């Protein structure tokens, strides 16, 4: 991904691809992050993803002007640990012109950055982690569901493999939390409507 700086304007868009708070200091959760390609090229397992495109699927949220300061303050508290703030182009699904969005990008030199891990060890870690925002399993399985619904062409083999491993741990009885909190994901196809709606089931 190519990142660029931009001046703040009243038209504020936030790019969302994950959330934190899925673990504790003793058992920190694992969540996805974006990194710059220059960092990715230094990872020891990059050859296993040599065909990875310079793009990622997610949702752009339009923040109304009167809420921009409040939202930025909240996100800086929640996301700033291990992230740097950038502006990057977002391409709507309907092919309309790209929009400039604020995005938090991971910094590998930070202590919170884990890097490549053995898939089975990672799945077991996710299975036993839980934090203020809920079980780490919920995060993973809801992420897989969102990718299937919002970006069926994403081809994210890693996420699907991790979800499969976690489900196998559930079946084996090694995990007591069996089902993710159900959500409904809805894709909008224009910059006027671009948002993700998550409605907890009653």
- Residue 77, classified by CB atoms within 10 Å of its CB into exposed (0-12), middle (13-18) or buried (19+), is exposed
**29 CB burial (10 A radius; 0-12, 13-18, 19+):** buried
Q: Which of 79, 145, 149, 168 is catalytic?
A: 79
Our measurement of the distance from residue 199's CA atom to the centroid of its chain's CA atoms, rounded to an integer in Å, reads 18
CA triplet 76, 81, 82: central angle to 5 degrees? 120
Please indicate whether residue 79 is annotated as part of the active site.
yes
Q: Which residues are catalytic?
A: 79
């Amino acid at each position: 991904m190519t990142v660029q700086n931009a001046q703040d304007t009243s038209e504020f868009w936030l790019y969302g691809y994950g959330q934190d708070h899925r673990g504790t200091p003793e058992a920190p959760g694992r969540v996805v992050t974006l990194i710059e390609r220059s960092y990715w090229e230094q990872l020891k397992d990059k050859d296993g993803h040599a065909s990875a495109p310079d793009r990622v699927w997610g949702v752009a949220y339009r923040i109304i002007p009167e809420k921009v300061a409040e939202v930025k303050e909240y996100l800086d508290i929640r996301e700033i640990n291990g992230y740097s703030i950038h502006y990057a182009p977002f391409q709507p699904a309907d092919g309309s012109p790209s929009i400039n969005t604020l995005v938090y990008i991971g910094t590998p030199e930070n202590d919170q950055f884990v890097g490549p891990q053995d898939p089975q060890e990672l799945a077991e870690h996710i299975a036993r982690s839980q934090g203020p925002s809920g079980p780490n399993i919920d995060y993973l399985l809801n992420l897989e569901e969102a990718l299937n619904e919002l970006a069926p062409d994403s081809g994210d083999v890693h996420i699907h493999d991790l979800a499969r491993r976690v489900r196998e741990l559930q079946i084996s009885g090694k995990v007591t939390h069996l089902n993710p909190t159900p959500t409904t994901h809805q894709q909008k196809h224009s910059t006027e409507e671009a948002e993700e709606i998550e409605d907890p089931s009653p």
